[in-house]
Amino acid sequence: MAIQIPSRQLFIDGEWRETVLKKRIPIINPATEEIVGDIPAATAEDVEIAVDAARRAFSRNGGKDWASTSGAFRAKFLRAIASTVLERKSELALLELVDTGKPLVETASDMDGVASCFNYYAELAEALDAKQKAPISIPVQSFKSYVLKEPIGVIALITPWNYPLLMAAWKIAPALAAGCTAILKPSELASVTCLELAEICRQVDIPPGVLNIVTGLGSEAGAPLASHPHVDKIAFTGSTATGIKVMTAAAQTVKPISLELGGKSPIIVFEDGDLNNAAEWTIYSCFKTNGQICSATSRLIVHESIAADFLVKLIDWSKNIKISDPLEDGCRLGAIISKGQYEKVMNFISTAKNEGATILYGGGHPQHLRKGFFIEPTIITDVSTSMQIWREEVFGPVLCVKTFSTEHEAIALANDTDYGLGAAVISKDLERCERLTKALQAGTVWINCSQPCFDQTAWGGNKRSGIGRELGEWGLDSYLSIKQVTHYISNEPWGWYSPPQSSEELERSQKQN
C-alpha cells in the first residue's frame, strides 16, 4: 500500500508559511529505509515569528485575546479538534505508522487517545469557569479573599517521536484549555501527524496564533524556542540529557518548566503471582511501541523460586510476537524509529554481552526481514547492577533480568536507579502490594498490570525522570498561574497608626501638655 505523505509548511498565525531559509528534512520510513517525503526545517528566524504570533494571540488589543475568553468558548475548539481527529483516524494512523514504524494497531489506538485527551480537557476548561473567584476561608472578618486561575502565557511545547501526536495532545489540550497560546516543536524524526493537526486547527477555525507548529532540528528550532525570552513556560518530553539543556535554558529567565524524561522502570514478579498474566504484562510493558516508551518496565525483578519457569514462559511469549512490516495484520513489533536509534540499541546489547551478561533470547535483526530497522525482542540474564544495561535507558525492545529472594531485596533492586517514572508489582498478596506502593520511588505504580494510562490520572516521574505532572487536573494546573485577591470590607479605619493632626489640633494638644 502506497501512503502519500502530505507536503506541509510551518503553521504560524493560522497560516502555512515557508521557512525563512527554505530548508527541509527528509522523512525516512523506518520499516523500508526509504525516503517518503520531507518536512520544513525551521530555524531561529522562524521561531521568532511563531513566538510573536503566539504573543499577539495571547494578548490582543480590544479584549479579543485567547487568554480572556471563557473556558466554555475554548472548549468548543477542543471538541472540534477531537471530532476531526476521529473523522481522520484511519488516515492519521497510517501516516504515523509510516513516520514511526509502529504497528497499525498501536497508531490507531493512539488516535483514539488524542481525541479522548482533547475532549477531556474541553470538560475541564468548562469547569474552570465555575472555579474562578472561589472564596477562601480566612480568620479575619474584615477581609475576604479568593484566587483567580489565570493562563501563564505563551508556552513552548517540545515533544518526542515515540508517540508524536498523542504526546503533543497531552500538552496542547491542557495549555489551550487554560487559555495559554503555544508553539509546538515536535521531534524532527516524527512530525507528520503534528503537521496534520495544524491542518485540523485551520479547518476548525481556531483563532490565528493560538497554536503554532514549527518543525525542525532540535539545535536549530528547539533550542531557540526553549531559550526565547518571550516564552513564559516550557513543557518538554524527551531524554534526560536534553531535559537538562531545557532546564538550563529556562533558568536564564526563571521561567517554569515541566519535564517528562527518561526511565528505567522495574516490574517485580513475586512467587504468588499469576505467572501467565505476569508473563503477558512483562512482555507487553517492555516490547510495546517497539520498546520505545519512557515508562517501559524494562528491568524484570523476579523471585528466584519461579525464575526458571517464568523465563521459559517469557521466551514462549516472545516467539509468538509477530515482527513485520507495521502494515501487516497481526504485527505487534515494528521498526525502530531511525538508523541512529537502531545502532544505539544494538550497541547496548553488544555491550551487555561483552560485560558478561547472557543474551537469553533475541538480540539481533530478524532474519526474515531484509530491510528496515527491526530488532528482535531481547531478553538478557546474568545481569549485575553495575552493568550499563541495568542502569541506562535503552529505548528499544530489550528486557534485563535479575532475581531476588526477599521483599526487602526486591525493593532495593527496584529503587536502585537514577530514574523514577514507573514501577509494576505482580502479586496476589494485596497487603504486600500496598507496602510496595509506598516503598517504590516512582511517579506511577501499577499493581498486577503495567502501562495503563488514563486522561484523568496524573503522569510524571521522580528523580531524573522529570519535574511536574501531566494529565488529569494536574495537567491543567501546570498551565495556570494562581493570583490571590484580597478585599478590605470593613467601614472602620485599619488603625495601623493614628491619622496626622491638623495644625490647630496640634497647637491645642501642646497647650494642654
Which amino acid, one-letter code, is at 385? T
| Cell digits of residue 196 | 496534520
Query: How many H helices and E strands in the chain?
Result: 16, 22
Beta strands 378-381 and 10-12 are unpaired
CATH class of 10-261+464-485: alpha beta
How far is the C-alpha of 82 from the C-alpha of 386, rounded, in Å?
46
How far is the C-alpha of 134 from the C-alpha of 146, rounded, in Å?
6
Cβ count within 10 A of residue 458:
15
Secondary structure percentages of the chain, helix, strand, coil, to 5: 40, 20, 40
DSSP string, 213-254: E----IIIIIHHHHT-TT--EEEEES-HHHHHHHHHHHHTTT
151 DSSP β-pair partners: 480
Is the separation of the CB atoms in 165 and 137 below 8 Å?
Answer: no
- pLDDT of the residue at 314: 98
Instruction: Please tell me if the domain spanning 10-261+464-485 has the same topology as the one spanning 266-456.
Output: no
How far is the C-alpha of 262 from the C-alpha of 464, rounded, in Å?
7
Residue appearing with cell numbers 526553549:
226
Containing 359, the helix (H) or strand (E) segment is strand 358-361
- pLDDT of the residue at 509: 65
Q: Which residues contact 107 (CB under 8 A, 6 or more apart)?
A: 92, 93, 94, 96, 97, 100, 326
What residue segments make up the domains of the chain, in order of their start? 10-261+464-485, 266-456
DSSP string, 162-194: SSHHHHHHHHHHHHHHHT-EEEEE--TTS-HHH
| Cell digits of residue 95 | 501516516
- pLDDT of the residue at 494: 84
The C-alpha angle with vertex 500 and arms to 495 and 503, in degrees rounded to 5, equals 155
- pLDDT of the residue at 458: 97
Please determine, looking at this structure, whether the domain spanning 266-456 carries the CATH number 3.90.76.10: no
- pLDDT of the residue at 3: 87
DSSP string, 5-47: PP---EEETTEEE--TT--EEEEEETTTTEEEEEEE---HHHH
- pLDDT of the residue at 59: 85
Kindly name the residue from 220, 260, 376, 470 that is annotated as catalytic.
260
- pLDDT of the residue at 2: 75
Is the separation of the CB atoms in 57 and 210 below 8 Å?
Answer: yes
260 is an active site residue: yes
pTM across the whole model: 0.95
Is the separation of the CB atoms in 433 and 330 below 8 Å?
Answer: no
Q: Which residues of the chain have pLDDT under 50?
A: 61
Is the separation of the CB atoms in 177 and 124 below 8 Å?
Answer: yes
| Cell digits of residue 326 | 507495521
